[in-house]
A and B are shown apart, each in its own frame.
Chain A
Amino acid sequence: MSDISYVSDQQIPPSPPPPNTTGPIKWLKDNLFSGPVNSVLSIVSIGFILFLIYDLAPWFIDSSWAPAEMSLKGCRAEASGACFAVINERFYQFIFGFYPSELYWRPTLAFLLMIVAIWPVLFDRAPKQLIWHTMVYPLLAYWLIWGGSIWGPLLVLAGPLIGYLIASKAERLFAAIVGDDFAPLVTLIVAVLAVILWFIFAVAPLDGVISAILPLGIMPVETNDMGGFMLSLIIGVVGITASLPIGIALALGRQSKLFLVRVLSVGFIECMRGVPLITLLFVASTLLNYFMPPGTNFDIVLRVCIMVTLFSSAYMAEVIRGGIAALPRGQYEAADAMGLTYWQSMQLIILPQALKISIPNIVSSFIGLFKDTTLVIVIGLLDPLGLSTAIRADADWNGIVWELYGFIALFFFIFCFGMSRYAAHLEEKLKTDHR
Chain B
Amino acid sequence: MTNAMEDHMPEGHEPDISKMKVSDEIAIEIRNMNKWYGDFHVLRDINLTVNRGERIVICGPSGSGKSTMIRCINRLEEHQKGDIIVDGIELNSDLKNLDKVRAEVGMCFQHFNLFPHLTILENCTLAPIWVRKTPKKEADETAMHFLEKVKIPEQANKYPGQLSGGQQQRVAIARSLCMKPRIMLFDEPTSALDPEMIKEVLDTMISLAEEGMTMLCVTHEMGFARKVANRVIFMDAGQIVEQNEPEEFFQNPKSERTQLFLSQILGH
Expressed in whole angstroms, the Cα–Cα distance for A434 and B175 within the complex equals 21
Contact (Cβ within 8 A) A432 B103: no
Which of B100, B113, B114 interacts with A333 by CB under 8 Å? B113
Contact (Cβ within 8 A) B76 A333: yes
CB distance from B223 to the nearest CB of A (A): 27
Number of interface residues of B (CB under 8 A): 26
Expressed in whole angstroms, the Cα–Cα distance for A435 and B176 within the complex equals 26
Instruction: Considering the complex, give the chain B residue whose CB is closest to the CB of A336.
Output: B76
Expressed in whole angstroms, the Cα–Cα distance for A334 and B124 within the complex equals 12
Contact (Cβ within 8 A) B109 A338: no
Expressed in whole angstroms, the Cα–Cα distance for A349 and B123 within the complex equals 10
Expressed in whole angstroms, the Cα–Cα distance for A432 and B115 within the complex equals 10
From known contacts A339-B102, A340-B131, infer whether A352 and B117 are also in contact, taking CB-CB under 8 Å: yes
Contact (Cβ within 8 A) B113 A339: no
Is B141 in the interface zone, CB < 8 Å from A?
no
Contact (Cβ within 8 A) A348 B102: no
Contact (Cβ within 8 A) A430 B179: no
Contact (Cβ within 8 A) A334 B161: no
Interface residues of B in 87-105 (CB under 8 A from A): 99-100, 102-103, 105
Is B20 in the interface zone, CB < 8 Å from A?
no
From known contacts A331-B115, A334-B113, infer whether A348 and B179 are also in contact, taking CB-CB under 8 Å: no
Number of interface residues of A (CB under 8 A): 22
Interface residues of B in 124-145 (CB under 8 A from A): 126-127, 130-131
Which of A328, A336, A430, A434 interacts with B161 by CB under 8 Å? A434
Contact (Cβ within 8 A) A433 B161: yes
CB distance from B230 to the nearest CB of A (A): 24
CB distance from A282 to the nearest CB of B (A): 43
CB distance from A110 to the nearest CB of B (A): 35
Expressed in whole angstroms, the Cα–Cα distance for A337 and B159 within the complex equals 21
Contact (Cβ within 8 A) B115 A340: no
Contact (Cβ within 8 A) B115 A334: yes
Instruction: Considering the complex, give the chain B residue whose CB is closest to the CB of A430.
Output: B117
Which of B105, B107, B127, B161 interacts with A435 by CB under 8 Å? B161
Which of B103, B114, B159, B162 interacts with A339 by CB under 8 Å? B103
Is B151 in the interface zone, CB < 8 Å from A?
no
**Cβ of B130: which chain A residues have Cβ within 8 Å of it?**
340, 344, 348
Contact (Cβ within 8 A) B117 A356: yes
Which of A328, A339, A353 interacts with B131 by CB under 8 Å? A339
Contact (Cβ within 8 A) B111 A340: no
Interface residues of B in 235-261 (CB under 8 A from A): none
The 8 A CB mask of A262-298 against B (1 = contact, 0 = none) is 0000000000000000000000000000000000000
CB distance from A235 to the nearest CB of B (A): 33
Instruction: Considering the complex, give the chain B residue whose CB is closest to the CB of A433.
Output: B161
Contact (Cβ within 8 A) B102 A338: yes
Is B68 in the interface zone, CB < 8 Å from A?
no
From known contacts A336-B102, A338-B102, A348-B130, infer whether A434 and B113 are also in contact, taking CB-CB under 8 Å: no
Is A341 in the interface zone, CB < 8 Å from B?
yes
**Cβ of A353: which chain B residues have Cβ within 8 Å of it?**
115-117
**Cβ of A348: which chain B residues have Cβ within 8 Å of it?**
126, 130
Contact (Cβ within 8 A) A339 B127: yes
The 8 A CB mask of B159-173 against A (1 = contact, 0 = none) is 101100000000000
Interface residues of B in 60-113 (CB under 8 A from A): 74, 76, 99-100, 102-103, 105-107, 109, 111, 113
Instruction: Considering the complex, give the chain A residue whose CB is closest to the CB of B102.
Output: A339
CB distance from B158 to the nearest CB of A (A): 9
**Cβ of A17: which chain B residues have Cβ within 8 Å of it?**
none
CB distance from B234 to the nearest CB of A (A): 25
Is A13 in the interface zone, CB < 8 Å from B?
no
Instruction: Considering the complex, give the chain B residue whose CB is closest to the CB of A333.
Output: B76
Contact (Cβ within 8 A) A432 B116: yes
Instruction: Considering the complex, give the chain A residue whose CB is closest to the CB of B99.
Output: A339
Expressed in whole angstroms, the Cα–Cα distance for A272 and B162 within the complex equals 43
**Cβ of A434: which chain B residues have Cβ within 8 Å of it?**
159, 161-162
Expressed in whole angstroms, the Cα–Cα distance for A341 and B103 within the complex equals 11
**Cβ of A432: which chain B residues have Cβ within 8 Å of it?**
116-117, 159, 161
CB distance from A355 to the nearest CB of B (A): 10
**Cβ of B116: which chain A residues have Cβ within 8 Å of it?**
353, 432-433
The 8 A CB mask of A342-364 against B (1 = contact, 0 = none) is 00100011001100100000000
Is A406 in the interface zone, CB < 8 Å from B?
no
CB distance from B98 to the nearest CB of A (A): 8
**Cβ of A340: which chain B residues have Cβ within 8 Å of it?**
126-127, 130-131
The 8 A CB mask of A311-350 against B (1 = contact, 0 = none) is 0000000000000000010110110111111001000110
**Cβ of B113: which chain A residues have Cβ within 8 Å of it?**
328, 330-331, 333-334
Contact (Cβ within 8 A) A338 B127: yes
**Cβ of B161: which chain A residues have Cβ within 8 Å of it?**
432-435
Contact (Cβ within 8 A) A349 B115: yes
Contact (Cβ within 8 A) B131 A337: no
**Cβ of B114: which chain A residues have Cβ within 8 Å of it?**
334
**Cβ of A334: which chain B residues have Cβ within 8 Å of it?**
107, 109, 113-115
Expressed in whole angstroms, the Cα–Cα distance for A23 and B102 within the complex equals 57
**Cβ of B106: which chain A residues have Cβ within 8 Å of it?**
337
CB distance from B90 to the nearest CB of A (A): 17
From known contacts A339-B103, A349-B115, infer whether A330 and B162 are also in contact, taking CB-CB under 8 Å: no
From known contacts A336-B76, A348-B130, infer whether A433 and B102 are also in contact, taking CB-CB under 8 Å: no
Instruction: Considering the complex, give the chain A residue whose CB is closest to the CB of B110.
Output: A330
From known contacts A336-B76, A337-B74, A434-B159, infer whether A330 and B131 are also in contact, taking CB-CB under 8 Å: no
Instruction: Considering the complex, give the chain B residue whose CB is closest to the CB of A329.
Output: B113
**Cβ of A336: which chain B residues have Cβ within 8 Å of it?**
74, 76, 102
Q: A339-B100, A433-B159, A434-B161 are in contact. List 6 more A-B contacts (CB 8 A).
A: A330-B109, A337-B105, A338-B179, A340-B130, A356-B117, A432-B161
> Shortest 6 CB-CB distances between A and B: which pairs?
A339-B102, A334-B113, A330-B113, A338-B127, A339-B103, A337-B107
Residues of A within 8 A of B (CB): 328, 330-331, 333-334, 336-341, 344, 348-349, 352-353, 356, 430, 432-435
Can you list 28 contacts pairing A with B, beta carbon distance less than 8 Å?
A328-B111, A330-B109, A333-B109, A337-B74, A337-B102, A337-B105, A337-B106, A337-B107, A338-B126, A338-B179, A339-B99, A339-B103, A339-B127, A339-B179, A340-B126, A340-B127, A340-B130, A341-B99, A348-B126, A348-B130, A353-B116, A356-B117, A430-B117, A432-B116, A432-B117, A432-B159, A433-B159, A434-B162
